[in-house]
Amino acid sequence: MNEERKTPEVRAQMTDIERLRHSASHVLATAILKIWPEAQFAAGPPVENGFYYDVDLPHRISPDDFEKIEAEMKKEIKANHPFERMEVSRDEALELGKKGRLAALSERPEPSKFKIDIIENIPADEKISLYRNGDFIDLCAGPHVMRTGNIGAFRLTNVASAYYKGDGKNPQLQRVYGTAFKTKKELDDYFAMLEEAKKRDHRKLGRELELFVFDDDVGPGLPMFLPRGAVIAEELEKLAKETEFAAGYQRVRTPHIARESLYLKSGHLPYYAESMFPPMTLVGESVKQEDQPQYSPEFQTKLYELFPTSDSADVAASLSREKLDEAWRFLSQLKANVPVDRYYLKAMNCPHHHKLFAAIPRSYRDLPLRLAEYGTDYRYEKSGELFGLMRVRSLQMNDAHLYMTPEQFEAEFNAVNEMYLNYFKLFGIDKYLMRFSTHDPSKLGQRFVDEPELWKKTEEMTRNVLKNSGVNYVEVPNEAAFYGPKIDVQAWSVIGREFSIATNQVDFSQPRNFDLRYKDRDNVDKIPICIHRAPLGTHERFIGFLIEHYAGNFPLWLSPEQVRILTIGDDPKLIDYARSILRELRAHQVRAEIDKSTDNINGKIQRAEQMKVHTMFVIGKRDMDADAVSVRIHGKGNLGAKPRAEAIAEILLSIKERRA
Ligand SMILES: [Zn+2]
Ligand SMILES: [Zn+2]
């Protein structure tokens, strides 16, 4: 990947904190040069959460060097040098570069090679500027803070290798990372947050709490939920089903695969093909006449791909065994006129749901029609991009498609929005942002489906709903989906980690592709508007989010093990008493267990706390005689003895109300 040079426009938009961090990278270079004057610098931009500077240096910088470098940086900040801007001609800049004076403290025997290369790539009409702090002069377009002293607090964080301009053909450089903030407190808070995030990492907690696993034989990106994790998925599903039922949704069930023709119709093929698993080819299946591959343009393209110059023996020799096999199969089918059918694992549920809408004649009286399914989808994410439960290849989505008349849109959209907000409240997600992406009228028919009236209308309606409901939103022009405006929801966990968890899209294109119709009041066939929505996102990502959000300390209703009964000793009568409590809890669908080990009570408590079991009933002889239990809550300690009936009633109520 090529790292693009920032245009002056982009630079002008640098935020205050980016300015500060970029300025810190000049100070970093200054410090490195004080220690290693021969260092050659390439680029030093601000990045998310910090900054870096790429340096070419025979000495391999390691974290052991950070203290020394930071000490020099502190001196430079204390000196409070101004960042002085100087405009120079291209020739002057090149001259300084040849003398090694760019990104340097003085002239040097070696030229500033990367800076010379950068100058040569600056567009002719762009001004060339240098910035000076103390003895350090750098080629830079800015902007910076006024003085080095404005850099409040900083820390070096990491060193990695990086190719010059991100191109593997270029020399490898050392990329020294740091971060900087206006105040020491902000810096400390940031590192405390990172520390906390590490503890809460869903991959780490997922293992420790026995929630989910990955297995090489099953395949990367294909998580399997252990019983304790499956419980969370089931609880979320129960929540969704209850919520959606009350909101007038109907549940449907669809297969995990579908014929190629479905995705050609939906437009996912060929545009989305890269994100889908390759097709399964069934030879000899009967296919619809129009799908006979030997007549389809796709088939022709395939052949051409496999044999760009089919008469050359060299080409065949250069093809992999797999490709040859594939070509052979296609050719023999062509010859024998054997029909071929292709199936894809579904990557989204919309096309199946559209087919269900179309399966029965619909009238305006049937609308809005809301079809919901926790659909299992498969997406081909590149292996390098897989990440715990956050980026996976199999996903179960809290999906639904709502079909409506234009008049019903506002109420439907509003209701969907309400549902999002209620979920946020339930999970204690206080910080969220809805990004409302709209279209650009000048790009109708290219980037956006050519329906100027529908765009205007739905965007206006969407905007009104967002305004009137007082949700936290920003409008992003020109980023709508091809087929309609969309809302992406970003949420922040309690420790400030950001997740994009849900999307809500308005669609007036797919219903047309699928020829969806309803008979309107005036007896005319009309095309419904469709809303795609998934407020709980996918089980995978949402559970990953919740693990980190709660640090594994789930509220009772979500807790994999809600109650564990711990007996003090193993008197048979006591065990019987424990069993009768267990039976009562289970009869009420409470996930309860008895610790059957022979450990002493402290050992039992410790193990339950480790597994973050929500509630412990500790029972000894005295509790048994009083028909009571001693209640202990994970992380909160002992609440004392309570009558058994009262303790159980409280548990049932907390679960029923899904208390935080
Ligand atoms: Zn700069
Ligand atoms: Zn959809």
Distance from Cα 116 to the centre of ligand 1, integer Å: 16
Cβ-in-10-Å burial (0-12, 13-18, 19+) of 317 comes to: exposed
Distance from Cα 473 to the centre of ligand 2, integer Å: 22
Distance from Cα 537 to the centre of ligand 2, integer Å: 12
Q: Angle 425-428-430 (CA atoms, 0-180°, nearest 5)?
A: 85
Q: What pLDDT score does 274 carry?
A: 86
Q: What pLDDT score does 306 carry?
A: 64
Residue with tokens 């020399």: 171
Distance from Cα 165 to the centre of ligand 1, integer Å: 17
Distance from Cα 189 to the centre of ligand 1, integer Å: 26
Cβ-in-10-Å burial (0-12, 13-18, 19+) of 241 comes to: middle
Say which ligand is closest to the CA of 353: 2
Distance from Cα 226 to the centre of ligand 2, integer Å: 28
Distance from Cα 44 to the centre of ligand 1, integer Å: 7
Say which ligand is closest to the CA of 28: 1
Distance from Cα 109 to the centre of ligand 1, integer Å: 24
Distance from Cα 299 to the centre of ligand 2, integer Å: 28
Question: 606: how many CB neighbours lie within 10 A of its CB?
Answer: 11
Distance from Cα 45 to the centre of ligand 1, integer Å: 8
Cβ atoms of 509 and 486 closer than 8 Å: no
Distance from Cα 189 to the centre of ligand 2, integer Å: 40
> Sign of dihedral through CA atoms 192, 196, 198, 199?
positive
Say which ligand is closest to the CA of 22: 1
Distance from Cα 510 to the centre of ligand 2, integer Å: 9
Q: What pLDDT score does 410 carry?
A: 87
Distance from Cα 140 to the centre of ligand 1, integer Å: 5
Say which ligand is closest to the CA of 509: 2
Instruction: Report residue 533: phi and psi, to 5°.
Output: -150, 150
Say which ligand is closest to the CA of 486: 2
> Sign of dihedral through CA atoms 387, 388, 394, 397?
negative
Give the whole-angstrom CA distance, residue 436 versus residue 462.
Answer: 9
Distance from Cα 459 to the centre of ligand 1, integer Å: 41
Residues with CB under 5 A from ligand 1 (ion): 140
Distance from Cα 61 to the centre of ligand 1, integer Å: 22
Cβ atoms of 490 and 502 closer than 8 Å: no
Q: What pLDDT score does 294 carry?
A: 42
Q: What pLDDT score does 295 carry?
A: 38
Give the whole-angstrom CA distance, residue 298 versus residue 288.
Answer: 16
Distance from Cα 503 to the centre of ligand 2, integer Å: 10
Distance from Cα 381 to the centre of ligand 2, integer Å: 19
Distance from Cα 67 to the centre of ligand 1, integer Å: 23
Residue with tokens 């340097």: 104
Distance from Cα 430 to the centre of ligand 2, integer Å: 27
Q: What pLDDT score does 313 carry?
A: 47
Distance from Cα 193 to the centre of ligand 1, integer Å: 28
Give the bridge partners for 280, in sequence order.
343
Say which ligand is closest to the CA of 141: 1
Say which ligand is closest to the CA of 133: 1
Q: What pLDDT score does 293 carry?
A: 41
Cβ-in-10-Å burial (0-12, 13-18, 19+) of 281 comes to: middle
Distance from Cα 52 to the centre of ligand 1, integer Å: 12
Candidates 439, 435, 473; CA nearest to 457 is 439
Q: What pLDDT score does 386 carry?
A: 94
pLDDT along the chain (660 residues), means of 10: 60 87 96 96 92 96 96 96 94 94 95 94 88 95 93 95 90 96 94 89 95 97 98 98 98 96 86 88 62 48 59 54 70 64 92 97 97 96 92 96 93 91 92 91 85 88 85 89 87 81 84 94 95 95 95 97 96 96 98 94 96 97 96 94 97 96
Distance from Cα 132 to the centre of ligand 1, integer Å: 9
Say which ligand is closest to the CA of 531: 2
Give the whole-angstrom CA distance, residue 627 versus residue 347.
Answer: 54
Cβ atoms of 112 and 93 closer than 8 Å: no
Q: All domains of the chain, ordered by start, with CATH?
A: 8-191 (3.30.980.10), 225-248+347-353+374-550 (3.30.930.10), 257-345 (no CATH), 556-656 (3.40.50.800)
Q: Report helix angle 16-35 to 66-79, nearest 10.
A: 110
Say which ligand is closest to the CA of 45: 1
